[in-house]
Amino acid sequence: MTATVLVTRGTGQNASLVQGLQSAGCCVKAVPVITTVPRYKQEEEAAERWKNGDIDWMLVTSVNAVYYLAGWKKRYGLGIPDGLKTAAVGPKTRQALELEGFQVELMPEKYNAVSLAESAGRVIDRRESVLLPQSAQAADTLYRLLAAQGINIWVWHLYTTVPEEKNKSLLQSVLKTREIDVLTAASPSSINALHQLAGAYRQVLSAIPVVAIGPSTGRAARESGFKYVYEAEVHSVEGIIEKTKEII
Q: Is the pLDDT of residue 183 over 70?
A: yes
Q: Please choose, from the candidates 220, 210, 218, the residue with its C-alpha nearest in 3D space to the C-alpha of residue 184.
A: 210
| 185/7 Cα distance (integer angstroms) | 7
Strands 152-163, 34-38: pairing is antiparallel
Q: What is the pLDDT of residue 98?
A: 98
Say whether pLDDT at 65 is over 90.
Answer: yes
Closest by Cα among 71, 59, 60, 192 to 130? 59
The predicted model gives 179-188 an average pLDDT of 95
CA distance 143 to 50: 20
- pLDDT tens, position by position, 132-157: 999 998 889 999 999 999 999 999 99
- Return the pLDDT at 1: 67
Assess contact for 63 and 187: CB atoms under 8 A: no
- Residue boundaries of the structural domains of the chain: 4-33+164-247, 37-161
- C-beta separation of 248 from 26 below 8 A: yes
Percent of the chain exceeding pLDDT 70 equals: 100
For 37-161, CATH gives: 3.40.50.10090
Mean per-residue pLDDT, 51-72: 96
User: pLDDT digit string (tens) for 210-219?
Assistant: 999 999 899 9
pLDDT in tens, 29-44: 999 999 999 999 999 9
**Residue-by-residue DSSP string for 162-199:** EE-GGGHHHHHHHHHHT---EEEESSHHHHHHHHHHHG
Assigned CATH class of 4-33+164-247: alpha beta
For 50, other C-beta atoms within 10 Å of its C-beta total 20
**Summary mean pLDDT of the chain:** 95
pLDDT band, very low/low/confident/very high, at 10 (cuts 50, 70, 90): confident
pLDDT at 13 over 80: no
Q: Is the pLDDT of residue 14 over 90?
A: no
